Amino acid sequence: MEQKSPKYIFITGGVVSSLGKGVAAVSLGALLQSRGYAVHSRKFDGYLNVDPGTMSPLQHGEVYVTDDGFETDLDLGYYERFLDIKLSRNDSVSGGRVYWEVLNAERRGDYLGATVQTIPHITDKIKEYIAAPADNADFIICELGGTVGDMEANVLLESIRQFANDIGRRNVMFVHLTLAPYLEQSGELKTKPTQQSTRLLLESGIQADMLIVRSPRMLEQSEREKIGLFCNLPERSVISGVNVDNIYKIPLAYEAQDMFARAAEHFGLENKAGDLSRFHRIEKYLSGDLQEVEIAMVGKYFDVPDAYKSLNEALFHAGIQNNVRVKIKKVDAEKFDPKDLAGVSAILVPGGFGARGIDGKIAAAEYARENKIPYLGICLGMQVAVIEFMRNVAGIKNAHSTEFSDKCEPVIDIMPGHDKIDLGGTLRLGAYPCFIKPGTLAEKIYGAPKISERHRHRYELNIKYENILSAHGMVISGKSPDGRLPEIIEIPDHPFYIAGQFHPEFQSSPYTGHPLFTAFIAAALKS
Ligand code: GLN
């Protein structure tokens, strides 16, 4: 098949960090998609970690996992959800990885004695990643992490400057995201930081083609004219990035300002109307006067912002699918008190690592089972459901995971010898197929005999306990294709009790939800 020549959109940030570049990038992407274009998205960061897997979630929120098992920060989650696309390890590129590859090539002698330099060797490697093939995309959107003026950002900026020159200026659009703060005293939005940031970008040889200016209110015509005058671009290419209460409203806010028309103008494309019905549907949902359903999430990373980002999203999506408001009650597993669960409509135990809070999670699984409250277990949430069931139903009192105890009945254990998993006990990462047992709740939910879900864990339910579990009423309803790894468990004699060894939240879409979460919220509504 002939490969298309995609167009490229680069998003940089200025003035301050955390302005929401990723969401701005994919909102523009969504407008392109709504006109029928195929859009792909990538993240480039300056930092020197070779990949984000070694970075503390305390700094970066949850660890997101792609189908191909790459651990990334949560930006890729935004891209995948918003654009409904699948990304891979080549879509999250750090400075560390680029330097690592160049230095390894140097050690191998690949440069044949040449002097290895930032330009061209590092910049060429970055350009290689920018231009890497991407599913026949019409547009590749690249977000540059950090803020213009950061030392680390310089080599990235130099690379995109060169790239535009290489492939032709009209095949590349530079979008710069800035801030216009509001000053109480003068009652004004201030445009100077935007002017200065755009000038700083120009120092790297990059003229912004579009500015998105974050501000507490819409920019007035005169403010856009002023910014345009100082920043070298027409007033109509200055877009207000006005604050909204939900990120899915952003594409509509951009649409109202003709952002697509500006992109079409820049790239020489036809300006046509788009189908934004999927965002209108969410907008309508958000404004509805809806019934509320309360879900207890029994976890332990609540002090880390965004630690459960994808999970919160998946529950939000399930609310849309069920047309109900989902309220999450955060229950600290470490201070677990069954009273905290009184009155909630359903209980969810999310993934986690380490012993802290484990007893509370086990007690929550027990509470859900005994009180017939809908239960959804995610990864560790499946492991605690099994431990609890073995102890309290099958009567094996010392059942536990070897993650937490060396002297236990090891129902949850490291399973060496399974193909593709290193004997060292490294994490099982990325998408794995799972066969679903006919006649089960899992089959009803997924409506398919074979599914694929993403994993990030080290321990497994040992299949040798299957007979004990099933004799007491817990069914293993999903397994790896070779039958050796249990992937889903359920209790048929319960209104809704199901758990997976995987992280379904990584594949939930705001437009279609995820079957497991949609069914969970539907069950909560009935309880
Ligand atoms: N700590 C468990 C394991 O490593 C569960 C991990 C998780 O919930 N992601 O298997």
pLDDT in tens, 15-56: 888 899 999 999 999 999 999 999 999 999 999 988 877 776
The tokens describing 411, both together, are: 């129902």
Q: What is the mean pLDDT of residues 339-346?
A: 96
What ligand 1 atom has the least distance to the C-alpha of 403?
1
The secondary element (H helix, E strand) that includes residue 10 is strand 7-13
What secondary structure does DSSP assign to 134-147, as a single string? Answer: -TT-SEEEEEEPS-
Map tokens 């074979």 to a residue: 450
Please choose, from the candidates 283, 287, 307, the residue with its C-alpha nearest in 3D space to the C-alpha of residue 297. Answer: 307
Q: What is the mean pLDDT of residues 209-218?
A: 95
Global pTM reads: 0.94
Please choose, from the candidates 408, 401, 405, 396, the residue with its C-alpha nearest in 3D space to the C-alpha of residue 457. Answer: 401
Please choose, from the candidates 498, 315, 428, 513, the residue with its C-alpha nearest in 3D space to the C-alpha of residue 65. Answer: 428
**Residue 265: beta bridge partners?**
none
Distance 353 CA to ligand 1 centre (A): 5
CB of 458 sitting under 6 A from ligand 1: yes
Distance CA 33, CA 30 (A): 5
Question: Where is average pLDDT lowest: 255-269, 305-319, 407-421?
Answer: 407-421
Distance 222 CA to ligand 1 centre (A): 55
Residue 525 has a pLDDT of: 97
Residue 302 has a pLDDT of: 87
Distance CA 331, CA 239 (A): 41
Distance CA 418, CA 370 (A): 34
Alpha helices in 416-491 (DSSP H): 441-446, 466-472
- Mark whether 505 is an active-site residue: yes
pLDDT beyond 60 at 423: no
Residue 527 has a pLDDT of: 85
**Upper half-sphere CA count for residue 494 (Cβ side, 13 Å):** 28
What ligand 1 atom has the least distance to the C-alpha of 427?
4
Phi, psi torsion values for 38, nearest 5 degrees: -85, 125
Q: For residues 420 and 58, which has the higher predicted lDDT (pLDDT)?
A: 58
**Residue 292: beta bridge partners?**
325
pLDDT beyond 90 at 271: yes
CA-closest residue to ligand 1 atom 10: 459
CB of 282 sitting under 6 A from ligand 1: no
Residue 424 has a pLDDT of: 44
**Backbone conformation region of residue 526, classed left if phi is above 0, alpha if psi is from -120 to 50, else beta:** alpha
Q: What percent of the chain has pLDDT over 90?
A: 87
Q: For residues 55 and 74, which has the higher predicted lDDT (pLDDT)?
A: 74
Residue 49 has a pLDDT of: 87
Distance CA 294, CA 84 (A): 27
Residue 523 has a pLDDT of: 98
Q: What is the mean pLDDT of residues 400-420?
A: 84
- Mark whether 313 is an active-site residue: no
How is residue 122 annotated by DSSP? I
pLDDT, tens digit, 9 for 90 and up, residues 286-300: 999 999 999 999 999
Q: Please list, in sequence order, all residues whose beta carbon lies within 8 angstroms of the beta carbon of residue 185, skipping any fewer than 6 positions away.
A: none
Question: Where is average pLDDT lowest: 110-119, 315-324, 419-428?
Answer: 419-428
Map tokens 């050690």 to a residue: 107
Q: Are 122 and 24 in contact (CB under 8 A)?
A: no
Give the largest CA-CA distance in the chain: 76
CB of 361 sitting under 6 A from ligand 1: no
pLDDT beyond 90 at 74: no
Please choose, from the candidates 436, 427, 437, the residue with its C-alpha nearest in 3D space to the C-alpha of residue 460. Answer: 427
Distance CA 109, CA 461 (A): 47
Distance 478 CA to ligand 1 centre (A): 18
Distance 501 CA to ligand 1 centre (A): 8
- Mark whether 60 is an active-site residue: no
The secondary element (H helix, E strand) that includes residue 29 is helix 21-33
CA-closest residue to ligand 1 atom 5: 380
pLDDT beyond 50 at 226: yes
Distance CA 471, CA 205 (A): 70
CB of 350 sitting under 6 A from ligand 1: no
Average pLDDT, the chain: 94
Residue 186 has a pLDDT of: 87
- Exactly one of 379, 453, 490, 514 is catalytic; name it: 379
10 Å Cβ neighbour count for 186? 8
CA-closest residue to ligand 1 atom 6: 457
Residue 422 has a pLDDT of: 46
Please choose, from the candidates 242, 235, 270, the residue with its C-alpha nearest in 3D space to the C-alpha of residue 256. Answer: 242
Distance 460 CA to ligand 1 centre (A): 9
Across the beta sheet with 210-215, the strand order is: 92-94, 39-45, 139-144, 7-13, 172-179, 210-215, 238-242
CB of 377 sitting under 6 A from ligand 1: no
What ligand 1 atom has the least distance to the C-alpha of 378?
8
Confidence of residue 418 (pLDDT cuts 50, 70, 90): low
CB of 456 sitting under 6 A from ligand 1: yes
Map tokens 């000053």 to a residue: 183
Residue 2 has a pLDDT of: 55
CB of 379 sitting under 6 A from ligand 1: yes
10 Å Cβ neighbour count for 98? 26
What ligand 1 atom has the least distance to the C-alpha of 455?
9
Q: What is the mean pLDDT of residues 460-487?
A: 97
User: Cis (ω within 30 of 0) for the bond into 133?
Assistant: no
Q: What percent of the chain has pLDDT over 70?
A: 97
476 burial level (CB within 10 Å; 0-12, 13-18, 19+): buried
pLDDT, tens digit, 9 for 90 and up, residues 234-268: 999 999 999 999 999 999 999 999 999 999 999 99
The secondary element (H helix, E strand) that includes residue 278 is helix 277-287
Distance CA 210, CA 186 (A): 27
Residue 430 has a pLDDT of: 95
pLDDT, tens digit, 9 for 90 and up, residues 134-165: 988 999 999 999 999 999 889 999 999 999 99
Q: What is the tally of helices (H) and strands (E) in the chain?
A: 17, 23
